């Protein structure tokens, strides 16, 4: 083999540099009449079961308006976030360049969403997300990113208040926290707010994401004689923990609080016996009594082969997409800066009730719901998991919010 | 002579790269081509399969990210520092790993990868944990994606040349001797472990360097940059391109990223296609895409030969 000599290398490099400088870049920008919205959801990877439901629900919001708003045609494209920040970032970049995307909805994991948010900031496209991270409307806030989920502070406050109302004598809480940013930020608020509601946190166990074996945590929790097990975890982690708490005989004797639940998609995986004596906090539940929710739930169930109602994930993607459309309607345009300005401070009656977008941090102030699970004997059908017994849209106190400067467009 | 033609062909492809593919994706392909080429130094040339290359990729990325954000150092210093850090770490990790061979070597590299992943995952104040490390800004002169592509393309060519020099050097010959027969290499007087460590460290240096470029590409270091699945992707890229040929991994990296980009848009369950392709390559095309090109070339030449035969 002949090694590459220095001359070949220099000639090649110069040729490359010259070609790239002279050429410019092909712009595949489409005609500006159609505005493209990207739904980036996990179609593969850990949340692969959730992604298609989210995408379907997001597109339902567009179908309702026949892909047209403010006299502008809308186009919907999807990409796989894989629940990997690297892949999601690359795909978002690619979709913005190839499909001239101006709006992004998704994905379904805080870390991935923050990465996509960086792309949105850099490329100046609007990004709507719903999730447990407080950073999107907190320390990593910027003008292009919006948060649909309730603030973790609002959520933990109403869950604790509801449990206090339900159990006047309860005092001792034992916490199961998933060990990553989402769990930590909610834990912070539970610990801060618990004394104000008359509770004492008697123990905390942090478990890794994807934990399936909880016996050691359960034994530790049992030793502290708690009045409730308070969980800050999600999806299969929650289901596994609940199942084992039941097998150990701790529940239904001791109430279990799922403080930030996926709702239907989690509850359907537990037997009615396991769901006894449970309090569930969630951003969306299908019995929410608003005209928009009723219409959405009916249409979603019609499209589902088993008639399964939508859980938090599809509710969130539908809710986010409706906020995108509401912003366009308010701006009477699909122009990004105009829509951002119109969305800031926007107040509408929508999917979960009154929703207000706070201009200074882009947090949506909206109700967070607490359900009491339905005992087996009282269940009207297989999907009658619980009844909403409380909700609150109390805004997080300004001094606790870490978004100090939302920045410029 | 043939290598020179291949090199010029690569330059040609690099020149048209941003015209046929988005700049950011073309840039990412080049970054991973460096990683796959580096991995081939240990896999294809030294016969060591590592499932821990993401350790060095991630460390390089985090180092570059942190130095850019907190110290605001100039780009060449950032790239050099990230590379030195990844290299230093490789000396320490490699010194332990090369004590074992085969499956045990693989397990050690994997274990170190897991360890560093969890350090990055837990040390949120430094790395941002699961949320990633955002805010890695490129210098103003490189803010444009095309300019950054040109820089990465030039650096890619430099890495390519350097790695070619390594495999053509006496060191490279010893690496191959170890791959072919470790006992015989030791019998003729080579310090096998030392050479393995050398190969491991050189590979890690290039991988860390590529990681540093990656952090500047999207302005964020995602936690999956250091995840062991990333190590798996790197092995995949190397094998699918062809670990038996110096230039093979470049094709592998391009093919892997191109396929995952194109197919994922068309079909939600696209990893199944990647799986099928990988299985087919392992079963019928052990030399990867390069082998396919060779066979194709062989067929054409044979036919041509027959036609001109008297």
Task: Identify which has the larger pLDDT, A199 or A26.
Answer: A199
**Chain B residue with minimum CA distance to A42:** B268
CA distance A370 to chain B (A): 28
Task: Identify which has the larger pLDDT, B276 or A104.
Answer: A104
- Can you tell me the ipTM of this complex? 0.74
Say yes or no: A93 contacts chain B, CB-CB below 8 A.
Answer: yes
Taking contacts as CB-CB distances below 8 angstroms, the residues of chain B near A21 are 150
The torsion defined by the Cα of B102, B104, B107 and B111, in degrees rounded to 10, comes to: -140
B287 domain residue, yes or no: no
**Tens digits of per-residue pLDDT, A252-303?**
999 999 999 999 989 999 999 999 999 999 999 999 999 999 999 999 999 9
Q: Is B134 helix (H, G, I), strand (E, B) or coil?
A: strand
B241 domain residue, yes or no: no
Tally A–B CB contacts below 8 A. Answer: 151
Instruction: Quote the tokens at residue B274.
Output: 């990647």
**Tens digits of per-residue pLDDT, A306-351?**
889 999 999 999 999 999 999 999 999 999 999 999 999 999 999 9
Chain A, 320-339: which have a CB under 8 Å from a chain B CB?
none
Looking at residue A26, what is its pLDDT?
Answer: 41
B275 domain residue, yes or no: no
Characterize the bridge pairing of strands A200-207 and A172-178: parallel
CA B101 to chain centre: 22
CA distance B19 to chain A (A): 6
3-state secondary structure chain A: CCCCCHHHHHHHHHHHHHHHHHHCCCCCCCCCCEEEEEEEECCCCCCCCCHHHHHHHHHHHHHHCCCEECCEEEEEEEEECCCCHHHHHHHHHHHHHHHCEEEEECCCCHHHHHHHHHHHHHHCCEEEECCCCCCCCCCCCCCCEEECCCCHHHHHHHHHHHHHHHCCCCCEEEEEEECCHHHHHHHHHHHHHCHHHCCEEEEEEEECCCCCCCHHHHHHHHHCCCCEEEEECCCHHHHHHHHHHHHCCCCCCCCEEEEEECCHHHHCCCCCCCCCCEEEEECCCCCCCCHHHHHHHHHHHHHCCCCCCCCHHHHHHHHHHHHHHHHHHHHCCCCHHHHHHHHCCCEEEECCEEEEECCCCCEEECCEEEEEECCHHHCCCCCCCEEEEEEECCCCCHHHCCCCCCCCC
Among B32, B39, B212, B62, residue whose Cα is nearest residue B138 = B212
Q: Could you give the CA distance from residue B245 to residue B248 in angstroms, rounded to a whole number? A: 5
Say yes or no: A75 contacts chain B, CB-CB below 8 A.
Answer: no
Say yes or no: A2 contacts chain B, CB-CB below 8 A.
Answer: yes
Question: Burial of A235 by CB count in 10 Å (0-12 exposed, 13-18 middle, 19+ buried)?
Answer: buried
CA distance A82 to chain B (A): 10
Q: How far is CA A298 from CA A324, A341, B157, in A?
A: 22, 33, 58
Taking contacts as CB-CB distances below 8 angstroms, the residues of chain B near A122 are 219
B309 domain residue, yes or no: no
Q: How far is CA B259 from CA B25, B29, B56, B269, in A?
A: 12, 11, 25, 13
Contact present, B132 and B124 (Cβ < 8 Å): no
Looking at residue A31, what is its pLDDT?
Answer: 46
Q: Which residues contact B217 (CB under 8 A, 6 or more apart)?
A: B24, B27, B28, B31, B148, B152
Q: Which residues of chain B have pLDDT under 70?
A: 1, 302-310
Give the helix/strand (H/E) hosting B178.
helix B170-180
B243 domain residue, yes or no: no
Beta strands (DSSP E) in chain B are 133-134, 220-221
| Among candidates B18, B124, B130 on the partner chain, residue whose Cβ is nearest the Cβ of A25 | B18
Looking at residue B128, what is its pLDDT?
Answer: 86
Q: Examine domains A34-150+309-362 and A152-282+367-393 and report if their fold is the same.
A: yes
Give the helix/strand (H/E) hosting B274.
helix B271-284
Say yes or no: A249 contacts chain B, CB-CB below 8 A.
Answer: no
CA atoms within 13 A on the CB side of A400: 13
The torsion defined by the Cα of A346, A347, A349 and A354, in degrees rounded to 10, comes to: 130
Q: Could you give the CA distance from residue B106 to residue B124 in angstroms, rounded to a whole number? A: 28
Say yes or no: A27 contacts chain B, CB-CB below 8 A.
Answer: no
B98 domain residue, yes or no: yes
Looking at residue A4, what is its pLDDT?
Answer: 55
Q: Is B220 helix (H, G, I), strand (E, B) or coil?
A: strand
CB atoms within 10 A of CB A30: 13
pLDDT-derived band at A75 (thresholds 50, 70, 90) equals: very high
Q: Could you give the CA distance from residue A295 to residue A350 in angstroms, rounded to a whole number? A: 11
Q: B223, A85: Cβ pair inside 8 Å?
A: yes
**Tens digits of per-residue pLDDT, B165-205?**
999 999 999 999 999 998 999 998 999 999 999 999 999 99
Looking at residue A6, what is its pLDDT?
Answer: 56
pLDDT higher than threshold 50 for residue A5: yes
**Tens digits of per-residue pLDDT, A40-72?**
999 887 788 889 999 999 999 999 999 999 899
Q: Which residues contact A340 (CB under 8 A, 6 or more apart)?
A: A126, A143, A144, A327, A409
| Among candidates A8, A93, A184 on the partner chain, residue whose Cβ is nearest the Cβ of B7 | A8
CA A268 to chain centre: 19
Taken in order B218, B220, B223, B227, the sign of the CA dihedral is positive
Looking at residue B1, what is its pLDDT?
Answer: 58
Domain of B97, in residue numbers: 2-227
The angle subtended at Cα B151 by Cα B150 and Cα B153, nearest 5°, is 65
- pLDDT, averaged across chain A: 90
Instruction: Quote the tokens at residue A98.
Output: 């190839």
pLDDT-derived band at A18 (thresholds 50, 70, 90) equals: low
Looking at residue B275, what is its pLDDT?
Answer: 84
Looking at residue B303, what is its pLDDT?
Answer: 56
Q: Could you give the CA distance from residue A327 to residue A343 in angstroms, rounded to a whole number? A: 5
Instruction: Quote the tokens at residue A329.
Output: 């309607």
pLDDT higher than threshold 60 for residue A15: no
Question: Burial of B91 by CB count in 10 Å (0-12 exposed, 13-18 middle, 19+ buried)?
Answer: middle
Contact present, B205 and B35 (Cβ < 8 Å): no
CATH fold for the domain made of A34-150+309-362: Rossmann fold (3.40.50)
What integer is the mean pLDDT of A229-236? 92
Residue found under tokens 């309702």: A64
Q: What class, spelled out in words, does domain A152-282+367-393 have in CATH? A: alpha beta
Q: Could you give the CA distance from residue A65 to residue B181 in angstroms, rounded to a whole number? A: 69
Taking contacts as CB-CB distances below 8 angstroms, the residues of chain A near B1 are 2
Q: Could you give the CA distance from residue A212 to residue A244 in angstroms, rounded to a whole number? A: 9
Beta strands (DSSP E) in B60-206 are 133-134
What are the extents of the domains in chain A?
34-150+309-362, 152-282+367-393
Q: B14, A16: Cβ pair inside 8 Å?
A: yes
Looking at residue A14, what is its pLDDT?
Answer: 55
Characterize the bridge pairing of strands A386-392 and A368-373: antiparallel
The torsion defined by the Cα of A83, A87, A90 and A95, in degrees rounded to 10, comes to: -60
User: Is the previous residue joined to B87 through a cis bond, with omega within 30 degrees of 0?
Assistant: no
CA distance A73 to chain B (A): 22
Q: How many domains does chain B have?
A: 1
Say yes or no: A22 contacts chain B, CB-CB below 8 A.
Answer: no
pLDDT higher than threshold 50 for residue A22: no
3-state secondary structure A59-78: HHHHHHCCCEECCEEEEEEE
């Amino acid at each position: 083999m002949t090694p590459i000599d220095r001359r070949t290398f220099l000639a090649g490099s110069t040729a490359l540099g010259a070609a790239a400088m002279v050429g410019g870049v092909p712009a595949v920008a489409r005609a500006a009449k159609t505005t493209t919205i990207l739904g980036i959801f996990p179609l593969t990877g850990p949340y692969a079961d959730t992604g298609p439901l989210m995408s379907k629900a997001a597109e339902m919001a567009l179908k309702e308006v026949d892909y047209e708003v403010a006299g502008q045609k809308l186009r919907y494209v999807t990409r796989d976030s894989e629940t990997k920040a690297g892949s999601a970032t690359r795909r978002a970049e690619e979709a913005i360049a190839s499909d001239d995307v101006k709006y992004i909805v998704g994905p379904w994991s805080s870390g991935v969403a923050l990465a996509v948010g960086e792309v949105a900031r850099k490329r100046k496209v609007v990004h709507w997300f719903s999730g447990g991270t407080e950073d999107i409307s907190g320390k990593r806030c910027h003008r292009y990113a919006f948060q649909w989920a309730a603030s973790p502070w609002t959520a933990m406050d109403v869950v604790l208040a509801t449990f206090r109302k339900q159990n006047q004598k309860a005092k001792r809480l034992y916490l199961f926290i998933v060990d990553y940013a989402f769990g930590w930020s909610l834990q912070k608020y539970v610990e801060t707010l618990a004394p104000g509601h008359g509770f004492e946190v008697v123990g905390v166990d942090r478990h890794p994401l994807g934990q399936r074996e909880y016996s050691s945590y359960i034994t530790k929790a049992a030793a502290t004689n708690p009045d409730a097990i308070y969980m800050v975890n999600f999806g299969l982690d929650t289901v596994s923990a609940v199942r084992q708490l039941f097998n150990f005989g701790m529940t239904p004797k001791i109430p279990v609080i799922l403080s930030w639940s996926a709702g239907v998609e989690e509850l359907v995986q537990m037997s009615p016996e396991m769901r006894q004596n449970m309090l569930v906090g969630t951003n969306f539940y299908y019995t929410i009594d608003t005209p928009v929710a009723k219409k959405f739930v009916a249409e979603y169930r019609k499209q589902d082969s088993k008639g399964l109602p939508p859980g938090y994930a599809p509710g969130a993607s539908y809710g986010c997409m409706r906020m995108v459309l509401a912003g366009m309607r308010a701006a009477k345009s699909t122009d990004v800066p105009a829509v951002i300005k119109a969305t800031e401070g926007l107040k509408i009656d929508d999917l979960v009730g009154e929703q207000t977008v706070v201009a200074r941090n882009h947090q949506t102030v909206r109700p967070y719901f607490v359900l009491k699970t339905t005992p087996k004997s009282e269940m009207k059908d297989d999907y009658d998991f619980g009844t909403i017994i409380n909700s609150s849209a109390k805004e997080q106190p300004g001094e606790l919010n870490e978004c100090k400067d939302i920045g410029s467009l | 002579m043939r290598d020179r033609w291949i090199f010029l062909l690569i330059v040609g492809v690099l020149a048209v790269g941003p015209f046929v593919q988005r700049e950011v994706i073309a840039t990412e392909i080049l970054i991973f081509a460096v990683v796959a080429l580096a991995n081939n130094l240990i896999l294809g040339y030294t016969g060591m399969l590592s499932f821990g290359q993401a350790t060095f990729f991630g460390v390089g990325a985090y180092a570059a990210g942190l130095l850019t954000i907190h110290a605001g150092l100039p780009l060449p210093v950032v790239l050099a520092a990230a590379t030195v850090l990844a290299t230093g770490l490789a000396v320490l990790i490699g010194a332990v790993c090369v004590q074992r061979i085969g499956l045990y070597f693989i397990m050690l590299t994997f274990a170190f990868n897991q360890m560093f992943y969890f350090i990055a995952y837990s040390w949120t104040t430094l790395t941002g944990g699961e949320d990633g490390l955002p805010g890695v800004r490129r210098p103003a002169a490189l803010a444009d994606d095309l300019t950054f592509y040109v820089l990465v393309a030039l650096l890619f060519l430099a890495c390519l040349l350097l790695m070619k020099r390594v495999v053509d050097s006496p060191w490279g010959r010893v690496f191959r001797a170890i791959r072919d027969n470790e006992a015989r290499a030791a019998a003729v007087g080579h310090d096998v472990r030392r050479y393995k460590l050398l190969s491991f460290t050189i590979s890690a240096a290039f991988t860390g360097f590529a990681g540093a470029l990656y952090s500047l590409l999207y302005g964020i270091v995602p936690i999956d940059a250091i995840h062991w699945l990333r190590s798996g992707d790197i092995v995949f890229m190397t094998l699918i391109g062809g670990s038996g040929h110096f230039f093979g991994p470049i094709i592998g990296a391009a093919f892997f990223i191109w396929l995952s980009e194109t197919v994922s848009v068309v079909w939600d369950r696209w990893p199944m296609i990647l799986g099928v392709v990988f299985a087919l390559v392992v079963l019928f095309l052990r030399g990867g895409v390069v082998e396919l090109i060779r066979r194709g070339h062989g067929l054409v030449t044979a036919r041509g030969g027959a036609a001109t035969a008297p």
